[in-house]
Amino acid sequence: MTSEKYTTIMNDKTGSDKFDHLHLQRLLSRGLTFSPPVNIIREAGEKHTGNNISEFTLAEPYSTISRYFLEMKYEEIIPVDSESGIFLPRIPVSLRTGTDELMKIVDKAGAVIPSDGHIITGSSEGQESLFTLFSIVCFSLFVKFFHTILRRKSAGDITVRDYDYLDLVRTYEHKYTPAPGEILTANRENIPLMIKAAGRSMVSRKLVDSIFGNISLREGDYVYISESGSFLDDLKNRIVKLPLIGSVKSILQPSSELEVHRNIYKATEKQTIIHGHPLFTVILSLDSRTIDSPVLGEIPVVSTESGSGLEYSVPEMIRRNGNVIAKGHGIFCSGNGDFEQSLNRMVEIENYCREEYFKRLI
């Protein structure tokens, strides 16, 4: 894949908060399901609001997807996956190209797609936050695009133009395969090493975008879990050890889905859990029929919108099946002893969902 240029609109913050181009380039080269080798061409050096504002040009397949929404004259894109919706409830698409006008939109919404198809994000929390917002927009665009095509096909409204765009994007379709060289077998003498290897494998297999996903291991009466907001391929000093039962006291903030993990361990004999957001698993889960027990293949799908919450619905389904998909949110896979079983199972499920998606378009 070839990448396009990247530009940065700087603010007054220079000193220690000044952009480290090499650091941002490293962030941009990882964490996305399609991760182009982005090169930073130039720094615009303009001054605007108190936020750091970054402008990204899109590599494929995201550039084609953004053109699709621009051609449809969307005023704003509403993310359909639950994770993107938490951070960016809407992503404005603006025909306005004036810098000051765009900056006002970014300050209010966090991100905007101007008429040239770039992505502009703004945050007061530094470069990693800017990258995370960029990643969220890319993930949301991908899921929204494929979900829109599938919905139009189901409603009988799909057009030749839809198929044209689908063919262009499908060029970048790929299967998810195991990553060679990772040591994932049980090594209870070095639990952090096991978790870090599993995290790197999740990212290298493209089962997670950016920081979204979490991973844990149970050892006796304790749970080791990835820190909230951590990159799963860089978990050095970002693994939290907590009691299985009782209050949580830690300097590090554990994953926001800690209670899901703890309840799974309480309800089952499972020893490892991974949670990721493989693209086609998320997309197809949004199309799961409204029936008493929706499934994708043999994997149950639970709602993230109602009921007693994932911390109760997911453990019950894990107890019955070992794996469960949360609608619009991703998949939880469990294993015994090490992470190999759960990682391979997630790969199998994502490959099934990708193939099933295109079958539904025939």
Same fold, 5-170 and 188-359: yes
With H, G, I as helix, E, B as strand and everything else as coil, classify residue 305: coil
* Count of other CB atoms within 10 angstroms of residue 50: 11
Whole-model pTM?
0.86
- The per-residue pLDDT for range 198-237, each reduced to its tens digit, is 998 888 888 887 678 999 999 999 999 999 988 898 898 9
346: CB partners within 8 A, 6+ apart? 207, 274, 276, 278, 323, 331, 333
Structure tokens that stand for 176 in this block? 């998810």
Q: In the CATH hierarchy, which fold is given to the domain comprising 5-170? A: L-fuculose-1-phosphate Aldolase (3.40.225)
With H, G, I as helix, E, B as strand and everything else as coil, classify residue 225: strand
Q: What is the DSSP string of 13-24?
A: --TTTS--HHHH
Structure tokens that stand for 135 in this block? 């990643």
- The per-residue pLDDT for range 141-195, each reduced to its tens digit, is 999 999 999 999 999 999 999 999 999 998 776 666 655 555 555 556 689 999 9
For the chain, the structural domain boundaries read: 5-170, 188-359
Give the class (CATH, top level) of 188-359.
Answer: alpha beta
Compute φ and ψ for 241, nearest 5 degrees: -100, 125
Sign of the alpha-carbon dihedral angle for 162, 163, 167, 173: positive
Long-range contact pairs involving 75-80 (C-beta distance under 8 Å, separation at least 24): 77/113, 77/140, 77/141, 77/144, 78/144, 79/136, 79/140, 79/143, 79/144, 80/140, 80/143, 80/144, 80/147, 80/286, 80/328
